[in-house]
């Protein structure tokens, strides 16, 4: 049974691109992956020369047999364009014909010619000639494949983002053009010299956006109907290269690659499900009003490719799927159904065995897909419950860290690349163990234009660089009832890598004071807040209090204050508590403090009675119903007590990988690696 969004007739319409981009209108879309759709399942069918038509046919049949209604195909220019410049589409036509035959929808990835050892594809054109060649490829490709019913959409590029702009004439030219509109500052407004700046990284983000838009435009020249999509990757490293709000203007959905072996280096294996949850939240926020899906999920064993060799268990597959679904993903596509046969990825990543039999992982996918299809209406409308808690990260903070971070012998994480994002993750992990949802948003993705922020919390965890022009948004948020929690080295730099704490701190009125000094204490010391002793990492900021109420301190030193402004308040605790808890792998004290501090502000229809280490819960609502997804990664059997705000709700088991029913109560004993999905009526 196919989602009606997918099977809807394609309507033909024309977009005037220039005005579209300028006015930022969201194009009407045929939306195969759509906001009101049910979550779809699928896999990459890896098509390469040597495969027979029978083999290809079989893979699409297998998808069909396993409730997988979408797939992705990498459209290699290398395998279409012949040496005499003619085009031979036979190989990929075979795949599309099989997709047509079995009713599988295809997301086709634009993959222009690149070196045969380049497993990910290039990220930017190298020259005008190169750009023209890509344009020609798109023309041939799109005009040929838009005829297929199975075509659902185009993936503009595989995994944009690379860490840096490569040195070539094209990039230089684009940079010079860009500089005219975005001149480098020689001095701050007060006349201080700007010694290091974020220009290169800002350009990298804009250049990336430019190229994606250019690709979208090229496709739209020939196909105004099908879906446009792109998959982010290495999100915790590269997200500061992604300008999601701008992308929404030309994408129909947003996506991501989420492979622990490549992308989850900040996590150990027991944390991969939580990593998937954080990854999902970042993409969900990036997507905004357009739907999102997880475009690539690791399907099988990797040996020589990837940063870390690894084979997911069926339990992990189950956890990852329910985690993304719990974050409103409308599609889940594995990489890959069948393995590549040659080169660095040969025989790796697949859901199928070498004999095209389903692995235990594929069976796990099928089981989840079955559950979704049995509860179609429930999941079609299911939305993440917004607890009101927002972890904001800031592009400039990640850029600043990229410039500043240097490893030291002591491996102080706070001084190394990753400290900004890991601090955010520390709070995400603490809140997840409390069973509470929270958003992870780039600063610009948060809606600062509301009239009332009561019940809303923003946490700025170790956001190293906060542009001064963000002050008014933050002030507005607090004045209109919001609660702002600021920790770590947040605002140590402004957008010019200038330390304003000594030259007129713009956040003094909002935060209730200034910093006297930041001092290195120890890798881990303990920070007293209420009755909790929270692990704190490396640096401690001493507060020069002006208008706040001291909530932590010792002798004459002030460690944290509470400042009331308008209808809201700010808690400023300039120590690295999120990172400290994360390093200690102990969120208990942080969770308990957050409980005390936040729970009286926000509303969460469900939460754990007390934090459950190694276990987390995602909560959705769907019409009158709620769905809670609980995953136990603690390594042991865990009792979990769920508190529902509405005591009249009753729990129905939708899914478990280990049981058929649940007790008639809100206390569950979860086996290790169990995923429990409950519908509350």
Report 357-396 residues binding a copy of itself (CB under 8 A): 357, 359
Instruction: Give min distance, CB of 5 to a copy of itself, in A.
Output: 34
The reply to whether 554 sits near a copy of itself by the rule CB under 8 A is no
**Would you list the DSSP string of 372-395?**
HHHTHHHHHS-EE---SEEEEE-H
SS3 of 226, please? coil
Residue closer to a copy of itself by CB (options 167, 408) is: 408
Residue of the chain from 71, 156, 440, 497 that contacts a copy of itself (CB under 8 A): 497
Instruction: Give min distance, CB of 43 to a copy of itself, in A.
Output: 15
Which residues 262-301 are close enough to bind a copy of itself by CB under 8 A? 265, 300-301
Which residues 159-218 are close enough to bind a copy of itself by CB under 8 A? 187-188, 190-196
Which residues 51-90 are close enough to bind a copy of itself by CB under 8 A? 51, 78-79
The reply to whether 50 sits near a copy of itself by the rule CB under 8 A is yes
Residue closer to a copy of itself by CB (options 239, 515) is: 515
CA distances from 435 to 385, 588, 611, 612, 671 (A): 12, 13, 7, 8, 17
Residue closer to a copy of itself by CB (options 228, 351) is: 351
The neighbouring-strand residues paired with 76 are: 111
Are the CB atoms for 573 and 486 separated by under 8 Å?
Answer: yes
The reply to whether 415 sits near a copy of itself by the rule CB under 8 A is yes
The reply to whether 514 sits near a copy of itself by the rule CB under 8 A is yes
In what helix (H) or strand (E) does residue 590 lie, and over which residues does it extend?
helix 588-598
The reply to whether 311 sits near a copy of itself by the rule CB under 8 A is yes
The reply to whether 338 sits near a copy of itself by the rule CB under 8 A is yes
Residue of the chain from 15, 404, 471, 550 that contacts a copy of itself (CB under 8 A): 404
The reply to whether 660 sits near a copy of itself by the rule CB under 8 A is no
Residue of the chain from 7, 353, 452, 530 that contacts a copy of itself (CB under 8 A): 353
CA dist 25 and 428 (Å) reads 33
CA distances from 257 to 12, 44, 604 (A): 30, 12, 30
CA dist 270 and 398 (Å) reads 26
Residue of the chain from 29, 295, 496, 607 that contacts a copy of itself (CB under 8 A): 496
CA distances from 529 to 486, 488, 553, 593 (A): 14, 14, 9, 7
Residue of the chain from 15, 405, 550, 653 that contacts a copy of itself (CB under 8 A): 405
Residue closer to a copy of itself by CB (options 18, 411) is: 411
CA dist 30 and 215 (Å) reads 19
CA dist 307 and 399 (Å) reads 23
Residue of the chain from 16, 22, 363, 520 that contacts a copy of itself (CB under 8 A): 520
> Per-residue contact track with a copy of itself, 564 to 603, x per CB under 8 A?
----------------------------------------
CA distances from 225 to 12, 112, 312, 633 (A): 6, 22, 37, 43
Instruction: Give min distance, CB of 196 to a copy of itself, in A.
Output: 5
Residue closer to a copy of itself by CB (options 489, 630) is: 489
Are the CB atoms for 514 and 546 separated by under 8 Å?
Answer: yes
**Helices 419-433 and 395-404, interaxial angle, to 10°?**
130
Residue closer to a copy of itself by CB (options 308, 636) is: 308
């Amino acid at each position: 049974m196919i989602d009606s969004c997918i099977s809807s007739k394609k309507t033909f319409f024309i977009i005037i691109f220039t005005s579209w981009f300028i006015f930022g209108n969201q194009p009407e879309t045929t939306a195969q992956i759509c906001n009101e759709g049910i979550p779809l399942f699928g896999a990459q069918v890896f098509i390469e020369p040597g495969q027979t038509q029978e083999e290809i046919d079989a893979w699409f049949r297998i998808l069909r047999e396993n409730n997988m209604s979408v797939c992705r195909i990498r459209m290699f220019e290398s395998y279409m364009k012949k040496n005499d410049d003619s085009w031979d589409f036979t190989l990929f036509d075979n795949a599309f014909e099989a997709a047509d035959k079995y009713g599988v929808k295809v997301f086709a990835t634009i993959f222009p010619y690149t070196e045969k050892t380049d497993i990910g594809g290039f990220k930017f054109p190298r020259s005008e000639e190169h750009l023209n060649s890509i344009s020609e490829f798109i023309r041939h490709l799109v005009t040929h494949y838009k005829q297929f019913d199975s075509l659902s959409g185009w993936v503009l590029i595989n995994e944009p983002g690379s860490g840096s702009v490569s040195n070539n004439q094209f990039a230089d030219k684009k940079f010079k053009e860009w500089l005219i509109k975005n001149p480098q500052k020689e001095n701050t407004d007060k006349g201080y010299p700007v010694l290091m700046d974020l220009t290169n990284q800002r350009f990298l983000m804009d250049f990336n956006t430019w190229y994606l838009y250019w690709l979208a435009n090229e496709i739209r020249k020939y196909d105004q109907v099908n879906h446009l999509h792109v998959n982010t990757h290495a999100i915790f490293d590269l997200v500061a290269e992604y300008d999601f709000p701008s992308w929404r203007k030309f994408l129909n959905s947003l996506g991501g690659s989420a492979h622990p072996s490549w992308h989850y280096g900040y996590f150990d294996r027991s944390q991969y499900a939580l990593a998937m949850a954080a990854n999902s939240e970042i993409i969900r926020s990036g997507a905004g009003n357009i739907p999102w899906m997880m475009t690539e999920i690791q399907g099988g064993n990797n040996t020589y490719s990837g940063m870390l060799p690894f084979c997911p268990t069926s339990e992990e597959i189950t956890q990852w799927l329910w985690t993304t679904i719990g974050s409103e993903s409308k599609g889940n596509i594995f990489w890959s159904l069948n393995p590549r046969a040659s080169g660095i990825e040969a025989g790796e990543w697949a859901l199928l065995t070498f004999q095209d039999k389903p692995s235990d992982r594929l069976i796990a996918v099928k089981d989840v897909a079955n559950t979704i299809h049995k509860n179609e209406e429930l999941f079609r409308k299911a939305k993440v419950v917004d607890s009101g808690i927002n972890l904001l990260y800031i592009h400039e903070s990640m850029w600043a860290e990229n410039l500043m971070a240097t490893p030291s012998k002591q491996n102080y994480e706070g001084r190394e690349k990753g400290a900004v994002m890991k601090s955010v993750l520390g709070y995400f992990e603490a809140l997840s163990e409390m069973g509470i949802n929270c958003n992870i948003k780039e600063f610009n993705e948060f809606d600062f234009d509301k009239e009332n922020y009561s019940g809303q919390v923003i946490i700025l965890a170790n956001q190293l660089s906060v542009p001064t022009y963000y002050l008014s948004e933050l002030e507005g948020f607090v004045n209109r009832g919001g609660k702002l929690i600021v920790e770590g080295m947040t605002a140590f730099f402004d957008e010019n890598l200038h330390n304003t704490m000594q030259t007129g701190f713009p956040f003094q009125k909002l935060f209730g004071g200034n910093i006297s000094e930041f001092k290195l204490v120890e890798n881990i010391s303990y920070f007293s807040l209420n009755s909790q002793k929270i692990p704190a990492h490396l640096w401690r900021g001493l507060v020069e209090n002006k208008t706040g109420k001291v909530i932590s301190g010792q002798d004459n030193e002030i460690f944290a204050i509470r400042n009331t402004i308008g209808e809201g308040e700010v808690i400023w605790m300039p120590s690295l508590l999120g990172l400290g808890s994360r390093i200690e792998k102990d969120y208990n004290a942080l969770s308990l403090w957050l409980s005390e501090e936040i729970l009286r502000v926000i509303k969460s229809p469900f939460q754990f009675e007390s934090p459950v280490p190694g276990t987390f819960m995602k909560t959705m609502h769907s019409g009158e119903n709620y769905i809670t997804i609980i995953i136990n990664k603690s390594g042991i059997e865990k009792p979990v007590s769920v508190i529902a705000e509405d005591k009249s709700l009753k729990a129905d088991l939708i899914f478990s990988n280990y049981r058929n029913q649940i007790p008639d109560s809100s206390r569950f004993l979860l086996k290790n690696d169990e995923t429990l999905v409950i519908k509350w009526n």
